[in-house]
Amino acid sequence: MRASERLNVVVQAAQRRSERVLLDVPIVVSGESPDHGTFHEETFTVTVSAHGALMMLATNVKLGQRLVVENPANEDKREARVAYLGAPHAGLSQVAVEFARPSPEFWPVSSPPADWKVH
């Protein structure tokens, strides 16, 4: 990683609205796929925050696309939009989603970071 790329990562981390937590949470993602119509996919998160998550997804989605993320453990559903698309690896892509509103209660984090509190 070049120095400019490392600086960009540091700046992005400083600009985050809420701290990320490394957490593997089973989720269900649904929406409309550009190539397959409606989809409903069981998957998992890599990191979570009060504002969204980074997940692995087999379905092709587009930046800005609206999705519904469901946490089957608490039967909660939230609308989210695709904020980042990573390169595909072994049939899965890293996809970051951003909730329409901060939703720290969506994730099973017993001691959430201080910046997860919604004012």
Could you tell me the CATH number of the domain that includes residue 67? 2.40.10.220
Residue with tokens 């390169």: 87
| H or E, element range at 9 | helix 3-15
pLDDT of the chain along its 119 residues, tens only?
555 554 444 434 445 568 888 999 999 999 997 666 899 999 999 999 999 999 999 999 999 999 999 999 999 999 999 999 998 889 999 999 999 999 999 999 888 888 887 55
Range of the domain at 98: 19-108
Look up residue 109 and give its amino acid: V
- By the 8 A CB rule, do 39 and 31 touch? yes
Asked if residue 12 is part of any domain, the answer here is: no
Asked if residue 50 is part of any domain, the answer here is: yes
**Cα–Cα distance list, 29 to 2, 10, 83 (Å):** 34, 29, 15
**Cα–Cα distance list, 95 to 68, 70, 71, 117 (Å):** 13, 15, 16, 24
**Which residues are 87's β-sheet partners?**
none
Counted domains in the chain: 1
pLDDT of 76 reads 96
Asked if residue 24 is part of any domain, the answer here is: yes
Question: What pTM does this model have?
Answer: 0.81
Assigned token pair, 99? 């909730």
pLDDT of 36 reads 65
pLDDT of 118 reads 59
pLDDT of 8 reads 46
